[in-house]
Structure 1
Amino acid sequence: MANVAADPTDLYWTGESFDDVLSGVDVVINTFNTGVILEVGEQLNAAIARANPKVYFLSDLGVDYRLNEFDGYEHTEWQRKRVITADTKAALEGTQTKVIQLVTGMFHGWLLIPDLGIDIEKNVYTSLGPASNRIATTAEDDIGRSIAQLAVLSLDPATASTVPTNLRIAGENVSYEEIRDAVSRVKGVPKGELKSKSLEEFNNNLKVDTTANALQYIWVLVGQGKTDFSNENANELVNPGQSLWKWKTVEDYLRGSGSG
């Protein structure tokens, strides 16, 4: 049976040494935020290199920032992630460790908020560009299941080669129109108003707004069509034909079944 250090964040807060806790593990799943990784990343990478696990999952869940085109004004969170990913891969080069960068789209729990133009309380749905643009989103527990399945596949010599080092999953690729319709069905209210703002104007404002949060950048990515994973994802690899579990949808989440 594989030994898994599933949450290195515990190591940080307990004060235990990375070497002690990582000793003998086969799989490491990093759930540190970027601020912590910048603080302890060098120490952590050195310990992982010494432990030499078979699989290491980067803390890279979320949108696919590799597609970003915010030249000169990219949010600092993604700038940090680029540095962390490069440093980690360099530190583990030459070891047996397979470094996996898994992109999951939005978490269901972070999707339905006004910062992305989704205001359920007011029943108003505002897109940058067409309301038909889709957002990849995955329930948090489905992310956990996917990581577990990828770990199993990566540890099995018969299937290890089928797991790429960079991959994307999406429990659902959903549009503003579809979110609006799901809210209507779940809450029993009339279909809400669909509104649209200028993508170009909003994006230009980000270039000078140093207070903008990452979600506002993601709103732009949605408008640019860069958050739709419909045509490129590893869903069938981790959960072929939904034979292992049923992907939770945004409507499931709204009905209260999205968190467990």
Structure 2
Amino acid sequence: MSSSTSTKATVAVLGGTGTLGEDIATVLLTEFRESFPTVRVFTRDPSSSKAQAFAKKGADVVALDIESLENALAGIDVVVNVLPTSLSEEVRGKVNETVIKSGAKVYFLSEFGLDHRIADFTGYEHPEWAGKKRLAAETRALAQGKTKVIAVYSSVFLEFVVSSFLGPLLGFDLAKNVFTTYGPATQKFATTGKSDIGRAVARLAVLALDPSTSASVSDEVRIAGAITSYEDVRDITARVRGVPKGEIKVEDLAALEQSLREQKGKGGLLEYIRLAIGKGWADLSENADELVNPGQTLWKWKTVEDEIRIGA
């Protein structure tokens, strides 16, 4: 896919060699290079093989140093933050503040997961999401409308659903053909491929930078590469791999919720995600897919079937 737009801007990816950052940086350096002739990739280790591969593609690879970040962001129009939440909230807050001070026009917060605005974990919210909410509010207050601050919610990474490691932890054990859900196996949820997240970010940046379309981009955007369910994944797996439809195990959703309540925010993040799926909070059927990719004319969203076929 080639980006056809008159927009010419500079973009920085903070954490550009990480789990999601690598995919976003790759999309910017290839499919959207016309719109973003300058791509600056920030990473802890510029000598790593991933960083060097980006340099060969034409990226400016920069060592991530919080103290000198403002100077390193000089001249950057768009900043995409995909730094890990393992960093302290203090450090992440300093990064946000620095990005705003740098004068960037568009800033994507470190989100790209569950739309935690609609997930009602009152009294037992996971610290990661509570922290993200605080940081987002602080960052928008600092921006005062001068920088467009955007949160993108894309739900579960598609790659995680079929992963031999993370898949079973989320209840998708494709190898054993067993699918374990909390609540109805027909409950819909959203999943989005990492490269598609990168494409959506690029498109949102282009739209936000263009005065004629900037108003169409809200501060909080939901995208969904595919809407599926545990039952759907089970059926697709059987069809693609030519095996019998696998077993569906239904666990007690109320018991999971009670367990997390009792742990008061100390439960595992994957357990929260599974609860959110069971409650319907991960169903992003109402989304901005048509805004970023009208009629799939710019690219085809990767589906669960596409991803399963890769490993079939």
Normalising by structure 1, we get a TM-score of 0.91
Look up the match of 2:75: 24
Alpha-carbon offset, residue 11 of structure 1: 4.1
Distance 1:193 1:238 in 2: 37
Once residues 97 and 173 of structure 2 are traced to their aligned partners in structure 1, the CA distance between those partners, rounded to angstroms, is 45
Q: Which range is displaced more, 101-110 or 240-249?
A: 101-110
In 1: Cα distance, 2:310 partner to 2:90 partner: 37
8 Å contact kept, 1:34–1:80: no
Q: Does 1:46 align with 2:46?
A: no
Name the counterpart of 2:47.
Answer: none
Kept after mapping to 1: 8 A contact 2:12/2:42:
no
Is 2:182 the counterpart of 1:128? yes
Instruction: For residue 126 of structure 1, report the CA deviation from its aligned partner.
Output: 1.8
Q: What is the rounded CA distance, in whole Å, between the counterparts of 1:234 and 1:206 in structure 2?
A: 31
CA distance in 1, matches of 2:43, 2:202: 22
Structure 1: 5+ residue stretches without partners: none
1:24/1:221 CA distance change after superposition, 3 Å: same
Aligned residue-pair number: 255
- The 1:211/1:186 distance shift into structure 2, 3 A limit, reads farther
Q: Counterpart in 1 of 2:21?
A: none
Using a 3 Å threshold, how does the CA distance of structure 1 residues 163 and 122 change in structure 2: closer, same or farther? same
3-state SS of 2:191 partner = strand
* Alpha-carbon distance in 2 for matches of 1:211, 1:237: 37
Which residue is 1:102 aligned to?
Answer: 152
Q: Distance in 2 between matches of 1:150 and 1:54?
A: 12
Cα deviation digits, residues 28-83 of structure 1 (max 9, x gap): 10011223262423432332222211100001111111112222222222122122
For 1:58-137, what aligned pairs fall within 5 Å after superposition? 58-94=109-145, 96-112=146-162, 113-137=167-191
So what's the TM-score if we normalise by structure 2? Answer: 0.77
Q: Counterparts of 1:206-217 in structure 2 under 5 Å?
A: 206-209=260-263, 212-217=267-272
- Which residue in 2 is equivalent to 1:250? 304
> Which range moves more in the overlay, 220-229 or 236-245?
220-229
Inter-CA distance 120–182: structure 2 relative to 1 (3 Å threshold): same
More off after superposition, 10-19 vs 190-199? 10-19
| Paired residues of 2:106 and 2:150 also in contact (CA < 8 A) | yes
Map Cα deviations across residues 186-225 of structure 1 (whole Å, 9 max, x no partner).
2211000122122111211122347631111111111111
| Percent identical residues | 45
Q: Secondary structure at the match of 1:34?
A: coil
Which of 7, 10, 14 is the matching residue for 2:14? 7
- The separation in 2 between residues aligned to 1:242 and 1:15, in whole angstroms, is 35
Cα distance in 2 for residues equivalent to 1:3 and 1:189 = 48
Change (3 A) 1:189 1:136: same
Distance 1:75 1:45 in 2: 21
- 1:11–1:21 CA contact under 8 A, matched in 2: no
How far apart, CA to CA, are the structure 1 residues paired with 2:148 and 2:240? 42
Amino acid at match of 2:152: L
Rounded to whole Å, the distance in 1 between the matches of 2:244 and 2:237 is 9
Residue by residue over 1:131-170, the C-alpha shift from the partner in whole angstroms, topping out at 9 and shown as x without a partner, is 1101100000000001001111111111111111111000
Q: CA RMSD in A?
A: 1.8
Structure 2: unaligned runs, 5 residues or longer: 1-7, 17-40, 45-62
Q: Secondary structure at the match of 1:62?
A: coil
Q: Measure the CA separation in 2 of the matches of 1:162 and 1:15.
A: 32
The residue number in structure 2 matching 1:139 is: 193
**In 1, Cα distance between the equivalents of 2:213 and 2:64?**
36
Match of 2:282 among 215, 227, 239: 227
Greater Cα shift, 146-155 or 17-26:
17-26
Indicate yes or no: 2:273 matched with 1:218.
yes
Counterpart code for 1:31: V
| 1:199 pairs with one of 246, 250, 253 | 253
